[in-house]
Structure formats: structure tokens, C-alpha cells
Chain A
Amino acid sequence: EADIYQTPRYLVIGTGKKITLECSQTMGHDKMYWYQQDPGMELHLIHYSYGVNSTEKGDLSSESTVSRIRTEHFPLTLESARPSHTSQYLCASSDVWVEQFFGPGTRLTVL
């Protein structure tokens, strides 16, 4: 069983608030990822990291930012939440691109 954790699982917040979605993994994986998933739509990669102090933007434009100060931790931050940010956010980690282990997701609703 994959040991990757996301908190909070559900978040309802007002417009303009700053939020941080947490993601931690205990598998020692170098690579970590953030995806956005809307109902009936593809997973879209928004950020990824090859290792500590490495972050890259994915194929989906996002107003969020990420940091990778520790191998096991990859938080995602939205400085000012908007209703268009309402979505499910999935964190994943892996040794290689093709075998990614996903967390349970954070379902974000911005009012």
C-alpha cells in the first residue's frame, strides 16, 4: 500500500483566502507531482519536482506555487483562492515517471 498522505481531505473556503494543501510521502521517492482533476475530465499535471529544491510547471497553467525543501514534503499554495480554483487536487510520488503512487486527494471548494 502506498504511503502518501494529503491534508485536508476536504476544504471549503472563501474567495481571497490563502490556502496550502499538504502532501507527504514516506517512500523516499525523488519525484513528486500535483494534478488537478475535475469530474469527467482528464488528470492535468500542474506541478512536479525531481527532488529537493527542484520544481517545474506542468502542462496546465496554474496560479498555484509549490516548494520542495524536504524529500518527503511537497506543499501546494494558492495565495488568493478564487471560485475557478474549485477542483480536486491529487498528489503523487514515484521513483520513475510510469509508476506513480497517488494520495487520496483534496477536494477544494472556493465560495
Chain B
Amino acid sequence: QKEVEQDPGPLSVPEGAIVSLNCTYSNSAFQYFMWYRQYSRKGPELLMYTYSSGNKEDGRFTAQVDKSSKYISLFIRDSQPSDSATYLCAMSEGNTPLVFGKGTRLSVIA
């Protein structure tokens, strides 16, 4: 079993939809949970990260962590064509290497 599981999609939604992206993990020692966005032919960029459980909101993006279920989510409200990208979850115990999911490819259709 991989440490981090992420459905690679692809996921296609109409503009304005609410998007839910998810990852599950097996390592209960993970404390930091990150979401990266990667546009085609570019490097990943950090969208947001959360420490331990709870929610974090940044504009149209909300990250949720449920440590009891070992499940994290990224919600995108009012999705835009410019949100079309691959979204990668990543996790870490702290001062340790990040463990990445495979990424979910999202297309937002105008």
C-alpha cells in the first residue's frame, strides 16, 4: 500500500462548479498536509498547507484535514478555466521529506 493515494482523474467540470479533490494516507505520523498546483510544462506551486487537523481557507480554496480518517480534501469554489491544472497533495511528518500523491488532473470547461 502506498503511503499516499490520490485518484489521478482526469476530472472535468463546468465553469462555476464546486470541485472536491481528495487524498488518503496511511502514515499516522504525518502532521503537515500540502496542496500543490502544477500547470502543464511548469513546476508545482504551493497553494496552501495545514498543520494537523482542521480547515484552512484562502479565497476560493479550502483545505480540510481529517486525521481520524486519514483523509484530506481541497475544495475549489466557483471554479474557473484558469484552475485547470494537476493538483498534487503532499504530506510530511515535519522535518522530513515530502511524500506526494500522483496528482489529479482537473479541467474546468467554460
Contact = CB atoms under 8 A, between A and B. Distances in A.
Interface in A49-107: 58-59, 90, 92, 96-105
Contact of A97 (B42, B88, B98, B100): B98
Given A48-B97, A97-B95, A97-B97, A42 B102 contact: yes
Contacts of A41: 102
Interface stretch (B13-21, B43-51, B53-61, B62-70): B43-51
B78 to A, nearest CB: 24
A33 B32 CA distance: 18
A42 B45 contact: no
B43 A40 contact: no
Interface of B: 2, 4, 8, 32, 34, 36, 41-46, 49, 88, 90, 92, 94-103
Nearest to A10: B41
A104 B40 CA distance: 10
B72 to A, nearest CB: 14
A51 B91 CA distance: 22
A98 B34 contact: yes
A45 interface: yes
A46 to B, nearest CB: 11
A99 B100 contact: no
Contacts of A13: none
A40 B96 CA distance: 24
